[in-house]
Amino acid sequence: MKVFKLPDLGEGLQEAEIIEWRVNEGDDVKADQPLLAVETAKAIVDIPSPQAGRVAKLFGKKGDIMHLGAPLVAFEGANDDTGTVVGEMPQMQPTQPSTSSTRPAPAGHIARDVSMRGIVGAGAGARAPAIKATPAVRALARTLDIDLAMVTPSGPDGVVTSADVQRTAKLLVELGPPEELRGVRRAMAQNMARAQSEVAAATVIDDADIDAWPPGTDVTIRLIRALVAGCRAEPGLNAWFDGRAARRHVLAHIDVGIAVDLPDGLFVPVLRDVAHRDAADLRTGLDRMRADVQARKIPPEELRGATITLSNFGMIAGKYAAPIVVPPTVAILGAGRIHEGIVAENRQAVVHRILPLSLTFDHRVVTGGEAARFLAAAIADLRALD
């Protein structure tokens, strides 16, 4: 039999989840006919057949996570393993975020809300404290399939005891079987782990007085315009950074990743060339992208290539946050909940509408001054009457 293996889907993808088989064992198929649909990095695509022939065996079932090079389909014929696809294979976005350092992936989501002002730093690549446990306790943890990082130590000097491991095992049994992360949430977990290990994150926070806005102002469109103003003031925040090679690419075009929250998880479709589009065109593009994301029909190419990210989390709740920068981008602007606040006007206390802003940046390549100037330019644009 000829065995067709999960091919390289591009940009560092190492696995895919089977969503649906398009063929059955015994079917005669044509070259480039869809064999199965898979999901990875928030996109669902069909994998085509590399050849014409009869399907002898299908490997895996719906919901299985297949790794690169794993067998997918066996065709009748002489023994000959193949792992390539004949014809054009759609380029997939790296596991969101990707493990590739040469191309960007959807960027950013909010790790945690903070009510604070000033600059908050987070070191890159910080190591977790060493877990203290005797060999016997480690062996017990392996036997019970317990990750020692989940165990709260009760021994002297933070040593994990056998009782601690057994207590955790009992608790997990009471909680029932764990939920395996799949699809969007699995990709998000991988992205956030990569971002935490690579980015030297810092966040600068401020407010924009938007009391002059007329009724019916499109908040998201104004935020995009303000982000463009920030990029024009400090182009270095609209960039990709290859940390391993220590190379920065400052980009002329501004392609904004827009964080979209859905029950399935976080999606970040990309709105292209926002600096050269009017408000009506941007709104049409946003509405179309959101509809495609909700229907899970957004093309993979619209989920990659962001040069900077916008997260309007205030539509749900929260004033300030420390949004996460996902490589290779170097900045994400977060907008908090619009609220009424007391401000000074002509030495009098008055109530104005306030829009909180949080800008997280990669301190490896962006200085605090650059970030502050970016934010100042964005605030000035938001305060403008039109």
Average of per-residue pLDDT values in the chain: 84
Q: Across the strands, what pairs with 242?
A: 247
Residue 135 has a pLDDT of: 87
Instruction: Report, as ranges of residue numbers, the positions in the chain whose pLDDT lies below 50.
Output: 84-127
Rounded to a whole number of angstroms, the distance between the first and last alpha carbons of the chain is 67
| Domains identified in the chain and CATH numbers | 2-82 (2.40.50.100), 110-124+199-383 (3.30.559.10), 132-175 (4.10.320.10)
Residue 129 has a pLDDT of: 66
Residue 183 has a pLDDT of: 73
Kindly report the pTM of this predicted structure: 0.67
Question: For 106-165, what is each residue's pLDDT tens digit?
Answer: 333 333 332 322 333 333 344 456 888 888 899 999 999 999 989 999 988 889 999 999
Residue 303 has a pLDDT of: 85
Residue 266 has a pLDDT of: 83
